[in-house]
Amino acid sequence: MYYYVMKIKNYKFLFGLIGKSIGYSFSRNFFLKKFKKESILYSDYKIFDIPKIENVLLIFQNTCLKGCNVTIPYKESIIRFLDEISPEAKSIGSVNVVKITRNRRKIGYNTDILGFELSFKKDIEKFFHKKNFKALILGTGGGSKAISFVLNKLQIPYQYVSRTRKKKFLIYEDLNKDLLKTYKVVINCTPLGTYPDINLCPPLPYQYVSSDHYFYDLVYNPNKTLFLKKAEEKGAIIKNGLEMLYLQAEESWKIWNTKTDEI
């Protein structure tokens, strides 16, 4: 645990990613390249891979820490360790960005919303000229809440799909030819297929997928998950979450570097 609270030698400003089993993440490389390209000095970005959310308290003790991203599985559970959260993050109950203010207050935001909307909207406008389609959201965690927020904003009807039956949720066993004919957009918000477990995918009846479908995977490593490969084989339009990652990361940087401490 010493790693979390030690002073990073030669660095004044520390940022990072908080999650569990996140060695696959591209976030560190993204920010290190950004620091180099934009001549941002005395800054570093670390991967804080912690086994339980309570360890975040040790990370927050590092006085060099100015902000962090949050990923699976802590986007919801981190909220109780924060002092304040933005209205959007509060409305969906999910945080993926934390800003540490000058007086060490920890404020939570959600940039997944903007990242997904900008990445998704242009494709939908291009491939779906009529708003008579519906979407399936695979998974019910923090990431899926940002997706549902955007779909509501775009007035796209959607249905959650979960591993366990809950009120108003479908389960994977419910999915059939008729449902996939109705739901043309399928968005994977689960970690299934993430490196190194690249041979996993959500259990869909892929035989009913067609060129009328659009499959979006929040996973970006590997570049083409088994979920996307199976859909592409049936002619579906596919997209991974890499653009969303970059868009939300840039928005995170803006939040960390705003002069005001207020939301």
Catalytic residues: 75
pLDDT of residue 7: 46
**Which pLDDT belongs to residue 133?**
85
Query: Which residue in this structure is represented by tokens 């976030």?
Result: 27
**For 24, what's the count of Cα atoms within 13 Å in the CB-facing half-sphere?**
18
How sure is the predictor about 132, in pLDDT bands with cuts at 50, 70 and 90?
A: confident
**Residue whose structure tokens are 């086994």:** 51
Instruction: Burial-class residue 1 by CB neighbours within 10 Å (0-12, 13-18, 19+).
Output: exposed
Record the pTM: 0.91
pLDDT tens-digit series, residues 93-112 = 999 999 999 999 999 999 99
Dump strand ranges (E) for the chain.
13-19, 43-49, 65-70, 84-85, 97-100, 106-109, 134-138, 158-162, 170-171, 183-188, 214-217, 237-239
Percent over 70 (pLDDT), the chain? 93
Q: What is the pLDDT of residue 122?
A: 85
Query: What is the pLDDT at residue 225?
Result: 98
What is the end-to-end Cα distance of the chain in Å, rounded? 31
What pLDDT is recorded for position 5?
Answer: 46
Q: Is pLDDT above 50 for 9?
A: yes
Paired strand residues for 158: 135
Count of CB atoms within 10 A of residue 82's CB? 19
Structure confidence at residue 1 (pLDDT): 40
* 18, 73 Cβ separation under 8 angstroms: no
Q: What percent of the chain stands above pLDDT 90?
A: 86
Residue pair 217/207 in contact by the 8 Å Cβ criterion: no
Arithmetic mean of pLDDT over the chain: 92
CA 61 to chain centre: 25
Q: Is the pLDDT at 260 greater than 80, yes or no?
A: no
8 Å CB contact between 219 and 188: yes
Q: What domains sit in the chain, N to C, each tagged with a CATH number?
A: 2-110 (3.40.50.10860), 113-244 (3.40.50.720)
